[in-house]
A = this chain, B = another copy of it.
Amino acid sequence: MVTLSDVARAANVSKMTVSRVINHPEQVTPELRSLVESAMATLNYHPNSIAQALVNNRTNVVKFVTLEDIDTTEPYYMNLLFGVAKGLTKKQYAFQLVTDPEQIEAGRSDGYIITGARSSDYDMFDQLDKPFILFGENHRGFDFVDTDNQLGVKMATEYALSRLYKNIIFIGIDLKEPFEYSREAGYINTLQKNQLIPKIFRIGNHSHAAQDLIKEHFKEFKKDTCFICASDRIALGVERQLAEEGAKVPDDFGVIGFDGVFLDQVANPKLTTIRQSIFEMGELLATMLLQKIAQSGSPQGEVLIKPTLIRRGSTR
């Protein structure tokens, strides 16, 4: 293993000069700096992050906390995780996965990335003594990253109108959470702007719940209706039950999902959906958290990422 001392010896300087070239290059004269830099290059030196961690009282580990049940966990979390991992690896950070809220503060870490948080979890967050960033919008002032939910549903709704569907129905998730309110707002605002009356159903985020809903209300739905769904999972159920009822998708009925990571491709026909940039959000979460750690906890703000409309066979 090549150490600081090896580089120092090769460059004929002290360890501190090498350390400074790494951490505070501006404090070193250009000549020495380039001398040290070439020594580092020829020796292929990489700082030992464990030694750095020890002296800086860091662990180089952050926890990825999933407060949702794994079983209900959307497959798209995989992408989020890979994004987070990419952002962390850049700074030689590793992570641990936590599913039990009790275990958040167990063991060692420098901070937390928290997903699946509900309003009821907020009080617990106030108790945390290490920096954290939430994945998912909130109105309590916690730093977060999320898709621009309102914009996403607005895009979906406008697209449905542009495809000349006459009736636009929103099928949301029956949770009193900010992301759901934002999605509904995107729908409601767009309908009102077009002098249409909003019609919202709210169900659990399961395809079978969506099937049940369509089954129960199918007679009420006229041709030229488009269903804007709060998740691909719901859209999948809607599409399936419409087929079951013998309804023509996309000609008579349109279906638009939300997420666009995995389930949209499983559906038949494939779903028109609002794709979230999950991987990129993961990377951003990591970057923000590491920055927050480096700045000893200073606020990083709230970031909304613009989603993308993917046009597929479930709309005409």
Q: Mark A104-134, 1 if CB is under 8 A from B, else 0.
A: 0001100000000000000000000000000
Q: How far is the CB of A68 from chain B (nearest CB, A)?
A: 12
For residue A90, which residue of chain B has the nearest CB?
B107
User: Judging by beta carbons under 8 Å apart, are B99 and A82 in contact?
Assistant: yes
Judged by a CB distance under 8 angstroms, whether A266 is at the interface is yes
Judged by a CB distance under 8 angstroms, whether A79 is at the interface is yes
Residues of B within 8 A of A88 (CB): 96
Residues of B within 8 A of A85 (CB): 96-97
Residues of B within 8 A of A268 (CB): 240
Q: Mark A46-76, 1 if CB is under 8 A from B, else 0.
A: 1011110110011111000000001001010
Residues of B within 8 A of A53 (CB): 50
**Alpha-carbon separation in the docked complex, A132 to B109 (Å):** 25
Judged by a CB distance under 8 angstroms, whether A5 is at the interface is no
Judged by a CB distance under 8 angstroms, whether A295 is at the interface is no
**Alpha-carbon separation in the docked complex, A294 to B2 (Å):** 23
Judged by a CB distance under 8 angstroms, whether A147 is at the interface is no
Instruction: State whether A49 and B92 are in contact (beta carbons under 8 Å apart), knowing that A78-B70, A81-B81 are contacts in the complex.
Output: no
Judged by a CB distance under 8 angstroms, whether A203 is at the interface is no
Judged by a CB distance under 8 angstroms, whether A18 is at the interface is no
Judged by a CB distance under 8 angstroms, whether A236 is at the interface is yes
Judged by a CB distance under 8 angstroms, whether A94 is at the interface is yes
Cβ-neighbour of A97 out of B82, B240, B263 (below 8 A): B82
Judged by a CB distance under 8 angstroms, whether A314 is at the interface is no
User: Judging by beta carbons under 8 Å apart, are A236 and B266 in contact?
Assistant: yes
Judged by a CB distance under 8 angstroms, whether A95 is at the interface is yes
Judged by a CB distance under 8 angstroms, whether A207 is at the interface is yes
A50-B59, A78-B81, A81-B97 given; 7 more Cβ-contact pairs under 8 Å: A1-B57, A51-B54, A70-B82, A75-B262, A82-B99, A85-B97, A92-B108
Please list 19 pairs of residues, one from A and one from B, whose beta carbons are closer than 8 Å in the complex, sorted by A's number: A1-B57, A46-B107, A49-B59, A50-B50, A54-B54, A60-B61, A70-B82, A73-B78, A77-B78, A78-B78, A82-B99, A85-B97, A89-B96, A94-B96, A95-B95, A95-B96, A236-B266, A263-B266, A266-B266
Top 9 nearest A-B pairs by Cβ distance?
A85-B97, A75-B75, A94-B94, A61-B94, A94-B96, A50-B53, A50-B54, A78-B78, A54-B54
